[in-house]
Amino acid sequence: MANTEWTMQGVEFANCNCNTGCPCQFNSLPTHGNCRAHTFFRIERGRHGDVVLDGLCGGLMAMWPGPIHAGNGTWLSIIDERANPAQRAALEAITHGKDTDPGGSLFQVFHTTVTKVLPTEYRQIDLDIDYAARTARLRVPGLLESSAESILNPVTGLPHQVRVSLPTGFEYTEAEFVKGKAKTTAPIHLQFDGTHAHLANFRWSTHGVVH
Give the model confidence (pLDDT) of 64-89 as tens digits.
999 999 999 999 999 999 999 999 99
Rounded to the nearest 5°, which phi and psi values hold at 82?
-75, -15
pLDDT number for residue 114? 97
Task: For residues 151-177, give the mean pLDDT.
Answer: 94
Give the pLDDT band of residue 211 (cuts 50, 70, 90).
confident
CA–CA separation, 28 vs 24, rounded Å?
5
Task: For residues 168-194, give the mean pLDDT.
Answer: 94
**pTM, rounded to two decimals:** 0.96
